[in-house]
Structure 1
Amino acid sequence: MKTTDDKKFSLSAIAAAVILQCQPALAEYEELPTLVVEGGTMEPGTTALQPGTVGTLDAADLLKRVPGGNVNRNGPLTGIAQFRGLYGDRVAVNVDGMALKNAGPNAMDSRMSAIPSALIRSIKVYRGVTPVSVGLETMGGAVVAESRRAEFTDSETWKPQLFGTFGWSQVNNGLYGGGMAGVANQNYRFHFSASHEDGDNYRYKDNRNLKYTSYDRQTYQAGFGFRRDGHEFGAAYNHKFTGSAGTPSLPMDIRWIRTDTVNADYAWQLSDTVKLKTAMFFQDADHEMTNYHMRNAPTDPARWRQNNTDVVAAGYKAALVWSDIAGGELEVGVDGDLATHNSKVTNPNNAAFFVRLYNDVNRNRYGAYAEWRGEPLERLTVNAGVRYRYTYMDAGKVDGTPARMGMMNPMMRAGTILRDRFNAADRRQDQHDVDIALDFNYRLNDNLNLALGLARKTHAPIYQQRYTWLPLESTGGLADGRVYVGNIGLDSEKSYEAVAGFDLNLPTLGVLQNVYFEPRAFYRYVNDYIQGQAVNPADLGLTPMQWNMFVNMMLPNGCPNNPGGNTTDCTLRWANVDAQLYGVDMQGGFAIGDHWRVDGLMTYTRGEKLSGKDDNLYRIAPLNGRVRLTYSIWDFAFSGEYAGALRQDKVARYNNERKTSDWSVVNLRLQYQPSYQYVQGLKLAFGVDNVFDTKYADHVNGINRVRESRIGVGNRVFNPGRNYYVTLNYTF
């Protein structure tokens, strides 16, 4: 990894390297509708990540290897998916067929962490318009992750299937281990998998300790499958337990998270041309977080806080697929999910103190869709779909000590008014939305494929945006250090999107072989985009004096984003505005001879608020990219990677977002994969990330909320320093 003060390599080197790769591509290459991130070497049309390249960080870091992808990181296990400037719940994350819910209101158990990196089988990201069949809400794209399991074979003989992995990371003394043991034949499969991860606080430049970045997590999964005579059924149970884990960009740290899920799927080949597909899942998760068990407890015992949350969710999907409709495949289906959230804040030093922040909050989605995939004209493939979605949201009545104190303390009177207005309001909200997606791919010749996607996508408000009745940092992981008040009457976001590009693949170009270049340009206009706006106390039934007194009581230490600033400027209310996002992302590569290969990617995204005063959208990554040079000989592969980002000065004023400097880092890796019989499944790697121990902060990192840290409160959290690591994988 790198930054600006050490070994400063200009990011223009990345631009030059990637542009040089922008040559035509392979004749044999088959256009893939998705971009796949998985273990292995880079191949045309895919961005591949060697297992262990990111040390012991969670699976979210794989998205940094995807053009347009990034990670909003709030802690070592809290990485939130970002794609082309949209993040959080706007990006659909499908894990083994499940639309999982976060157990807590700040996404500490982010959906990208549902499968530990040790047990990831594949991750898929759609670079074009995401098909409507992929998920209920895909305005920001979709990430489809699958865990390792036993696979059916082609014979009646039972065969074992084994996988094991181990890794060590020096920068935080981190260890991970995992494995999958299974047995299968052509009709049955059974598997069991488990993993363990733990690490201390990581270190950055000059071996400085970044407090409260340690973590501990275990997962267990058991599953089976059956197929015969056109029927196929599979089911799995997964248990994940996260122990103490730091989230320095949030007001509390994880004490524990317990998540249990069950998922099942069934397919029936009704005839040669008709197939029925069904799936379901159930999720039960509990979560406890505090501001005292990891970080130094507040000196005032009255400021200690513990938040206990839970979510119960379930989902379903059923679809019929006709494989011969107008020369293509037609899929018609229904799907939905239901979730109930609760949150109660307490103080272990005062049994009388409580805040019922969320009480029986429901967010239920019901959808129906139709999608056709085919080739209406020679060389032209089309994916066209339409989806209807009904979103039902409601919440129970709330209460809390800050509201009860208002009866006796005029300075807290606003708390009483906020509670009573919320409880008297019509909290039920019904949203009816329609999504349309069109994706065109035209094969101009054997080497060039043209791509165009057009879409109207929608996203209903999340429960935190509607039902946060007190000004609190409960934002779904926004981590901007500001406090927000909900807005029950929010409208759904409506996005109008266009994506265009081409895939150029050439078997040879002069001395180069396997050349590929795949750029995409996109534009998205979002009507009713949801973000925070300055609070008008009258909209909350309060006078300016009541509001100011209450906010000062709620934030006795000032604004976390700006400790010396005005606390009333720190409070925002969710509102609908208009916004636009646009940019370019690309990937490319080529081989030279039998041993050398170059691969790279680059991403540029711009986000702007269009309503009211002109402003930039929050937490948008600047121009960034990476280039990797690989030399392979015999059973060895050595790679050097250069990654970096430009300065980000287009920041959001409404969030008091701070500018970040440009940075660049160098990563090295040596991999040994023996070709000898009996050990062909072995893969051993040694690596060094951030070779020059550069001190830097990625712009999409969260800001620091820990007062006793070396990093000032409100400053962006630094990335890890130089890291030596070892990984070992074995597949049998």
Structure 2
Amino acid sequence: MHPLRSATAAPSRRALACALSLALFPFVAAATDGMSDARTLDRVVVIGTPTQPLTFVTDTKLPRQPVPASDGADYLKTIPGFTALRNGGTNGDPVLRGMFGSRLNLLSNDGSMPGACPARMDNPLSYVAPETYDTLVVVKGPQTVLWGPGASAGTVRFQRETPRFDAPGLRVQGSLLGGSFVRNDQLLDATAGNATGYARLTANRSESGDYRDGHGDRVPTAWKKWNTDLALGWTPDADTLVEVSAGIGDGQARYAGRGMDGAQFKRESLGLRFEKAFHGALRKVQASLYRNDADHVMDNYTLRDPNPMGPMPMPMASNVDRTTDGGRIAAEWGWGDVVLTTGIDAQRSRHRTRNAMGRDAYKTVAWSPDATLRNTGVFAEGTWTLDAGRRWVAGLRSDRARATDQRATRSAMGMGGMAMPNPTLGLTRSETLPAGFVRFEHDIAGSGFGWYAGVGHTARMPDYWELISPNMGPMGTVNAFAGVRPEKTTQLDIGGQYRGKRMDAWVSAYAGRIDDFILFRYPTGGMMGATSMASNVDARIHGAEAGVDLRLAADWSVGGSLAWAWGANTTAGTPLPQMTPLEGRLTAGWDNGHWSAGALLRVVARQDRVAVGQGNVVGRDLGPSAGFATLALNAGYRLSERLQLAAGMDNLFDRAYAEHLNLAGSADFGYPAMPVRINEPGRNLWLKLNFTL
């Protein structure tokens, strides 16, 4: 029996056991109540709101709805404008305003973990367990230069805060989760320390069986994953920090929308961090080094049986590995009303692969390197405060990017196709990439209104998936490595916020021009990934997000958000593919300090603006998609200052629906040859306990 299939053998008994353990835990843990430094936990998070212009900050340990996330991309969906390119139960690929891939700078502890799969089965956020971090910080648009190159769509940072102790002590946070489809998660975050140092251990485990959609049909989407990280810090005084960290993790995931499953998601991470604060013009110095390795195995036999009628009738596996080393040093300066951060960062990423027919035969095959990518950047970002509440923020950045093609052969027709000599073997491409922005901010004043306006530009080097993964490059070129040009984005961002006694509201809008947008094209029929071509087109994008929160009474609030994205391929005069549909969320909440309850209505419009057969390295437009609406309910109870119990029911009416951004179901699991989107989970119940000691 396949390991993940066994998870569904007795779902009712296992789900009941999880629910009972969660229900009984508060009474066992209640003995810890009464400690004076407890943190009061908030109600379930359903919609994120901006904390400052274009910036969203969220506590990742808070319970959220829909069911608490198993990966970083899932958590981002609480922020208006974000969605994920879906392929089943876990490891969706994040999308912001219809923009995908390295247009989003995805960081964990300010280090890069790009993933190794040529089709992004293990995208960067599949290695992120959100609740093992303290905060999620998102900056939308090309409106910062501090955290690396590209980032035309935005910057996403999952961060762990530095613990400080005045006296010897122990802090423990954790959670337990049980739910439908045999979902069960465990989290422990423990820190021990004193005034001169600390040790912090974070560990989590997450598992789910296959879910059933609104029709009651089983969707092959089971997963299990775990992560463990240890950080040791030295804090000799209030102004100094030296921290060394190490982490490991692994997992498996079955994919209804792919020809292979993820049999291994092995992660190894090392980090070194130094911070020093000063009390003169030089205010702070920060330096960090990291090394992240993703060792990923894809096969068609560990979590499924090979399909004798499919394109891979025999057992087959591919092992890919990507090691990324990087570092950053930055100095913060201050002179009166001016604050300036300057610095340099660098990164090197090496990719290699091996594959073979037969069960585990790849283990005897030698590794073959296929690409090395390097980037070195210098940056400066400053804030000039004119007076209370008004400021200019601006930044400049320049990167030198290099990519070396190390493939001896290339496949002209996708997986299993004929191998041909690679004409760009040993070729190195080098590009100088400028970036910058300027923004004016006016804080919320006596009238309750604040606003901002900024314009940014960034040039982005084609990433590994755009240089190496396509079978073909633009017409007239030997391959994508030689032919795909860097992408250049210029974007205007404007927005406003209002805060009143009973209402908070915000709106943000953007309009951008993308020269040399990197577009993938696929055959309109047949298997996804059989043949792909990457080329450059010119594009236009615009859209908006807005949110409102009304406090009807002391304990009652209602709110909502709206997100809209539009894109056009101006070279061809057609829609830009993979654009997210118009989406609205309406919420109602009640919280009296001990009990809380809420409802979330999510409404997604039909998407007719499509470019069939076009998209990115993971997905393509399959055609128009139907609109849908789902209703979710949640409730919570604060048993003490240290204990919070939350419960939820997603998709209350058990609707059968599919997201627009989606992969087509694999024929290995009985899906038809014509592309059919993968349905989302049906009615889903969950129960979660958060605790602190």
| 1:705 Cα deviation from its structure 2 partner | 2.4
Distance 1:256 1:112, change over 3 A: same
- Write the letter of the residue equivalent to 1:687: G
The separation in 1 between residues aligned to 2:131 and 2:677, in whole angstroms, is 28
Q: Is 1:590 aligned to residue 550 of structure 2?
A: yes
| 1:137 Cα deviation from its structure 2 partner | 2.3
- Write the letter of the residue equivalent to 1:522: Y
Q: Deviations over 1:43-97 (max 9, x none)?
A: xxxxxx6346524542322222212111112232312121111111210111011
Distance 1:184 1:590, change over 3 A: farther
- Write the letter of the residue equivalent to 1:50: P
The separation in 2 between residues aligned to 1:427 and 1:303, in whole angstroms, is 35
| 1:624 Cα deviation from its structure 2 partner | 0.3
Count of matched residue pairs:
628
The separation in 1 between residues aligned to 2:240 and 2:360, in whole angstroms, is 58
Q: Report the identity percentage.
A: 20
TM-score by length of 1: 0.80
| Larger displacement relative to structure 2 (176-185 or 341-350) | 341-350
The separation in 2 between residues aligned to 1:71 and 1:357, in whole angstroms, is 32
Distance 1:364 1:603, change over 3 A: same
| Equivalent residue, structure 1, for 2:226 | 218
2:526 to 543, 559, 564: 559
| Larger displacement relative to structure 2 (685-694 or 227-236) | 227-236
| Equivalent residue, structure 2, for 1:152 | 164
Distance 1:267 1:83, change over 3 A: same
8 A Cα contact 1:389 1:433, kept in partner = yes
- Write the letter of the residue equivalent to 1:62: Y
- Write the letter of the residue equivalent to 1:152: R
Q: Which has the higher contact order (CA 8 A, sep 6+)?
A: 1
Q: Deviations over 1:514-537 (max 9, x none)?
A: x111101101110000012589xx
| Equivalent residue, structure 2, for 1:294 | 303
| 1:621 Cα deviation from its structure 2 partner | 1.0
The separation in 1 between residues aligned to 2:365 and 2:236, in whole angstroms, is 54
| Equivalent residue, structure 2, for 1:636 | 595
- Write the letter of the residue equivalent to 1:187: T
8 A Cα contact 1:457 1:496, kept in partner = yes
Give the secondary structure class of the aligned counterpart of 1:465: helix
The separation in 1 between residues aligned to 2:366 and 2:624, in whole angstroms, is 36
| Equivalent residue, structure 1, for 2:186 | 177
Q: Is 1:374 aligned to residue 384 of structure 2?
A: yes
| Equivalent residue, structure 1, for 2:421 | 419
| Equivalent residue, structure 1, for 2:651 | 690
Report 1:163-174 matches (<5 A).
163-170=173-180, 172-174=181-183
| 1:254 Cα deviation from its structure 2 partner | 0.4
The separation in 2 between residues aligned to 1:610 and 1:145, in whole angstroms, is 35
Q: Deviations over 1:202-261 (max 9, x none)?
A: 1111422102x111111111112222343211222111111x311222221101121100
The separation in 2 between residues aligned to 1:318 and 1:485, in whole angstroms, is 36
The separation in 1 between residues aligned to 2:518 and 2:179, in whole angstroms, is 39
Give the secondary structure class of the aligned counterpart of 2:92: strand
8 A Cα contact 1:252 1:289, kept in partner = yes
| Equivalent residue, structure 2, for 1:306 | 317
The separation in 2 between residues aligned to 1:534 and 1:250, in whole angstroms, is 15
The separation in 2 between residues aligned to 1:305 and 1:704, in whole angstroms, is 19
| Equivalent residue, structure 2, for 1:660 | 625
| Equivalent residue, structure 2, for 1:135 | 148
Give the secondary structure class of the aligned counterpart of 1:61: helix
Distance 1:713 1:671, change over 3 A: farther
8 A Cα contact 1:436 1:455, kept in partner = yes
8 A Cα contact 1:129 1:439, kept in partner = no
8 A Cα contact 2:65 2:648, kept in partner = no
The separation in 2 between residues aligned to 1:639 and 1:692, in whole angstroms, is 16
8 A Cα contact 1:56 1:169, kept in partner = no
Q: Deviations over 1:268-310 (max 9, x none)?
A: 2344331211111011221110123323303167654211100
The separation in 2 between residues aligned to 1:401 and 1:443, in whole angstroms, is 55
8 A Cα contact 2:86 2:661, kept in partner = yes
The separation in 2 between residues aligned to 1:313 and 1:207, in whole angstroms, is 42
TM-score by length of 2: 0.85
Report 1:248-647 matches (<5 A).
248-274=256-282, 275-299=284-308, 303-324=314-335, 327-348=337-358, 359-377=369-387, 379-399=389-409, 415=418, 418-423=420-425, 427-443=427-443, 445-446=445-446, 447-468=448-469, 470=471, 486-507=480-501, 513=502, 515-533=503-521, 559-561=526-528, 571-611=531-571, 613-647=572-606
Distance 1:82 1:420, change over 3 A: closer
Distance 1:593 1:649, change over 3 A: same
| 1:263 Cα deviation from its structure 2 partner | 1.4
The separation in 2 between residues aligned to 1:488 and 1:376, in whole angstroms, is 48
Give the secondary structure class of the aligned counterpart of 1:652: coil
Distance 1:352 1:711, change over 3 A: closer
8 A Cα contact 1:52 1:167, kept in partner = no
8 A Cα contact 2:317 2:362, kept in partner = no
| 1:708 Cα deviation from its structure 2 partner | 2.6
The separation in 2 between residues aligned to 1:69 and 1:332, in whole angstroms, is 30
8 A Cα contact 1:210 1:710, kept in partner = no
Distance 1:485 1:717, change over 3 A: farther
Q: Unaligned stretches of 5+ in structure 1?
A: 1-25, 41-48, 404-411, 473-483, 508-512, 536-554, 562-566
- Write the letter of the residue equivalent to 1:305: M
Distance 1:599 1:78, change over 3 A: same
8 A Cα contact 1:353 1:400, kept in partner = no
| Larger displacement relative to structure 2 (104-113 or 596-605) | 104-113
The separation in 1 between residues aligned to 2:641 and 2:546, in whole angstroms, is 33
The separation in 2 between residues aligned to 1:604 and 1:358, in whole angstroms, is 44
8 A Cα contact 1:667 1:691, kept in partner = yes
Distance 1:428 1:401, change over 3 A: closer
Give the secondary structure class of the aligned counterpart of 1:65: coil
| Larger displacement relative to structure 2 (381-390 or 225-234) | 225-234
